[in-house]
Structure 1
């Protein structure tokens, strides 16, 4: 497992985690393409749009300060090499990436629910890979499977292993049931299962700063993910019920 986030290359620092994310997204896009239950001529290679979306997100977030203060780059062009993203850039990157993927889905004829399924599967595969590659330790524990860093006597919850095991279990369950899932159901199952599971795991993590109602931003994201899965299940369930009534 990796414990570092960057790889020094002379004066530059190569973000290992971002490279791992892009590889994971490519692998997830491949799995998302394989699992689709559509004729071969209608299949979409999800690898390219998701890798392009990840690259678009990174560019917009990393160099977003240029949009707010373009003269800073004119006065100091080398600042582009060391620039970091901003909060406004984070939101801009997500909105732009979502718009790009919606445009891809519409142009290709995939539709909204196929896009949701492919996005969920890709995120599941990438998330499982990242969890197993990068160590993340939580609160101290006395459990026998706790992890102790080198030179430290205290043992901690291996949050990365908990997350990896959860996401792999969801992925295996979905793969075995892939022939029985309706369009949009993969997103529902992944969002609900991962959202609830990651929220529970987060209570073994270490959060020195809490936000609204005692939850961290990451915990609110997990709660929102599970809610989206629940709402998506309700909507897709009604859609399938209406389709069954029309064909009945």
Structure 2
């Protein structure tokens, strides 16, 4: 992506897109929280944890190049400003921020289902904005960004429309369809790196998540019928 000239400064388009995507995720979260019945202190706790989790993900993603390509950083320390840890760094940051948010969930008065709802809404809104902004920025991998944004916006709308936020089975089904949608849309990404059997690392991880969500959904449905 070409950098933007802002006076004497150069701003990478990627950074601008990430910032706007984070803002979209924050707005989506605030709208969801305002429609919930939780008190202001709980809402503030959710917002703080998710914002801190995003910042943790961003920092780890950017600095993970030190782990995955230390030679480049040694030869040119400025690489920390212009490069990142790539797909591996994305997942490393995601795991770390996920553990951080998970710790916050355990110490919160808000139910786990509500937390997953809030995280999902924030992620869906931010991801949809990311793909749409990339689509507007140019038609590079346009089919992938178009398919991903359509799927995510559809699922986000279904989640917003659902009035019964404590329905864990419905939430698991939404997340399952999100993972399946990501697996399929990534086939349209010509820049993906094939790992095995035509699948990239991201697709394989989404496949693992899909199996876990399917098992959880089946278990939840079985408990509901038994009860």
- Normalised by the length of structure 2, the TM-score is 0.74
Alpha-carbon distance in structure 2 between the residues aligned to 1:219 and 1:84: 20
Aligned CA distance change for structure 1 residues 206 and 188 (closer, same or farther; 3 Å)? same
Alpha-carbon distance in structure 2 between the residues aligned to 1:239 and 1:95: 29
Partner residue in 2 for 1:188: 172
Aligned CA distance change for structure 1 residues 23 and 208 (closer, same or farther; 3 Å)? closer
TM alignment of 1:76-155, pairs within 5 A: 81-82=81-82, 84-85=84-85, 92-135=92-135
Report the alpha carbon displacement of residue 89 of structure 1 after superposing the two structures with TM.
5.5
Report the alpha carbon displacement of residue 65 of structure 1 after superposing the two structures with TM.
5.7
Unaligned stretches of 5+ in structure 1?
138-146, 150-155
Q: 1:7 aligns with which of 4, 7, 12?
A: 4
Alpha-carbon distance in structure 2 between the residues aligned to 1:205 and 1:110: 38
Partner residue in 2 for 1:58: 58
Unaligned stretches of 5+ in structure 2?
none
Partner residue in 1 for 2:156: 171
Partner residue in 2 for 1:152: none
Report the alpha carbon displacement of residue 183 of structure 1 after superposing the two structures with TM.
4.2
Aligned CA distance change for structure 1 residues 162 and 240 (closer, same or farther; 3 Å)? same
Question: Which segment is superposed worse, 203-212 or 114-123?
Answer: 203-212
Report the alpha carbon displacement of residue 188 of structure 1 after superposing the two structures with TM.
0.9
Check whether the contact 2:121–2:159 (CA below 8 A) recurs between aligned residues: no
SS of residue paired to 1:108: coil
Larger Rg: 1
Check whether the contact 2:132–2:145 (CA below 8 A) recurs between aligned residues: yes
Report the alpha carbon displacement of residue 219 of structure 1 after superposing the two structures with TM.
2.5
Question: Which segment is superposed worse, 110-119 or 203-212?
Answer: 203-212
Q: 1:226 aligns with which of 188, 191, 210?
A: 210
- Normalised by the length of structure 1, the TM-score is 0.69
Check whether the contact 2:57–2:93 (CA below 8 A) recurs between aligned residues: yes
Check whether the contact 2:32–2:160 (CA below 8 A) recurs between aligned residues: no
Alpha-carbon distance in structure 2 between the residues aligned to 1:82 and 1:148: 23
Report the alpha carbon displacement of residue 79 of structure 1 after superposing the two structures with TM.
6.5
SS of residue paired to 1:227: helix
Alpha-carbon distance in structure 2 between the residues aligned to 1:133 and 1:162: 13
Check whether the contact 1:117–1:186 (CA below 8 A) recurs between aligned residues: no
User: What is the aligned residue count?
Assistant: 222
